[in-house]
Amino acid sequence: MQRVEVRSITHSYDGVRKAVSSLSFTIAAGEVLALIGPNGAGKSTSLRVLATLQRPDEGCVLWDNRDAWHERQDIRQRIGFLGDGTALYPAMTAAGYLRFFAECYGMDDAKADGRVDELLAIFRLSSKADARISDLSKGMRQRLAIARTLVHEPELLLLDEPADGLDPLGRRELREILREVATKGVGIVVSSHILRELDGFCDTVALIQKGELQVFGTVDEVIEKYEVARRVHEVSVTKGLQKAVEILRAHEGLIEAIEPLNREETIDDPKTADRGKIRVRVHGSENRAATLLRELVLADVEVIGLTRLRSDLEDVYQSIGRDEVA
Ligand SMILES: Nc1ncnc2c1ncn2[C@@H]1O[C@H](COP(=O)(O)OP(=O)(O)OP(=O)(O)O)[C@@H](O)[C@H]1O
């Protein structure tokens, strides 16, 4: 496939409340799309409709203009899907598990062996080929579960919260592997509610809230559209906090909070405190942060840290939240 289009899908489980409503977005071959939204936003429903497990009440999914639901027998063979739960068989070995699915897909011995070896290598599991699944770490089990969805060389991979429960290293490994899979031309849709995970990983983003699409586009387009001009930083100061606040304000910084430097401390009055952490929204890029830091130091403020608090996508998310509240 070249392009899968989700065109204005609406779906309700009870005929009353819409789990997703007029949702539209597209995925191209070789692209990673992140479906982002809080719990209950409609991510899993969207993935199930994309996987042709559910027929949308309205709208359709088009594969290069072919209706996926009407041609689901064929389309399903082109999809790899990992929903809730990994359905692994603990007593099987990693290679045995992949081999089992290769046989289910009707591959002959030679082809199955080749595919199993290839997937074990891509998913960094070659050394664990003969290990029982029950003896694998959670990260390895998750990688194996995703490898299984690729056995039949699908063109579209749908993964529902694949990074859930993985530690930061496991998540990074998974991201690297999925990017590698995408470079082979597979379109990938990953759902997640952890925004920080997705910056720098996905090509396009679809943000969903209460079943409705808030924004869809490339990461750059989305960030530009929402004018994430102000970036949230945390400035840790051991001396000269009031001076720091004055300088930040002179740079049109919006002070969000002034907090103690650590748990043992308290701040009685933020207007007189001399040390603490300032959470501030400032305009501009990282260069602006460097300018601010220089100015603070030159004014004898004792700065022990200046850290970017949120990722660009998180800023977009926050900005959408504010729009909604407004
Ligand atoms: N099988 C179902 N039967 C009835 N309602 C459902 C069913 N599955 C989901 N829903 C409802 O549809 C809405 C969207 O749920 P969905 O699971 O698609 O969201 P989600 O973004 O994947 O959430 P989560 O991150 O919690 O998995 C929610 O209000 C949910 O309660």
The pLDDT confidence band at residue 192, using thresholds 50, 70 and 90, is confident
- Comparing CA positions, the residue from 166, 89, 80 lying closest to residue 119 is 80
pLDDT (mean) for 95-124 = 95
* C-alpha span between 259 and 279 (Å, rounded): 8
CA of 13 to the centre of ligand 1 (A): 9
Check whether 70 has a pLDDT greater than 60: yes
- The whole-number pLDDT of residue 325 equals 35
Could you give the percent of the chain with pLDDT greater than 70? 91
Find out whether the beta carbon of 19 lies less than 6 Å from any atom of ligand 1. yes
- The whole-number pLDDT of residue 155 equals 97
Buried b (16+ CB within 10 A) or exposed e, 237-248: beebbebbbebb
If DSSP codes are grouped into helix, strand and coil, which group holds residue 206? Answer: strand
Are the C-beta atoms of residues 139 and 173 closer than 8 Å to each other? Answer: yes
Find out whether the beta carbon of 9 lies less than 6 Å from any atom of ligand 1. no
Average pLDDT, the chain: 89
Find out whether the beta carbon of 38 lies less than 6 Å from any atom of ligand 1. no
Tokens of 138: 């959670």
What is the ipTM, given to two decimal places?
Answer: 0.95
Report residue 10 CA to chain centroid gap.
23
Coarse DSSP helix, strand, coil percentages of the chain, rounded to the nearest 5 percent: 35, 30, 35
- The whole-number pLDDT of residue 123 equals 93
pLDDT digits (tens, 9 = 90+) for 193-242: 776 667 678 999 998 989 999 889 987 777 666 655 677 889 999 999 99
CA of 19 to the centre of ligand 1 (A): 6
Check whether 16 has a pLDDT greater than 80: yes
Find out whether the beta carbon of 260 lies less than 6 Å from any atom of ligand 1. no
pLDDT (mean) for 264-268 = 90
The pLDDT confidence band at residue 283, using thresholds 50, 70 and 90, is confident
Beta bridge partners of 30: none
- Comparing CA positions, the residue from 233, 236, 235, 214 lying closest to residue 225 is 214
- The whole-number pLDDT of residue 182 equals 96
- Which of 123-137, 210-224, 251-265 is least confident? 210-224
pLDDT (mean) for 100-113 = 94
Q: Which residue's C-alpha comes closest to atom 3 of ligand 1?
A: 13
| 320: phi then psi, degrees, rounded to nearest 5 | -65, -40
- The whole-number pLDDT of residue 169 equals 85
Find out whether the beta carbon of 45 lies less than 6 Å from any atom of ligand 1. yes
Q: How would you classify residue 263: left for phi > 0, otherwise alpha for psi between -120 and 50, otherwise beta?
A: alpha
pLDDT digits (tens, 9 = 90+) for 146-159: 999 999 999 999 99
Contacts of range 260-268, beta carbons closer than 8 Å, 24 or more positions apart: 261/236
pLDDT (mean) for 39-64 = 95
pLDDT digits (tens, 9 = 90+) for 290-326: 889 999 999 999 999 998 876 667 767 766 665 443 2
CA of 12 to the centre of ligand 1 (A): 10
Task: Quote the pTM value.
Answer: 0.79
Domains and CATH numbers, the chain: 3-218 (3.40.50.300), 226-323 (3.30.70.260)
CA of 69 to the centre of ligand 1 (A): 21
- Comparing CA positions, the residue from 37, 38, 40, 59 lying closest to residue 50 is 59
For 263, how many CA atoms within 13 A lie in the half-sphere containing its CB? 0
Buried b (16+ CB within 10 A) or exposed e, 195-222: bebbbebbbbbbbbbbbebbbbeebeeb
- The whole-number pLDDT of residue 204 equals 93
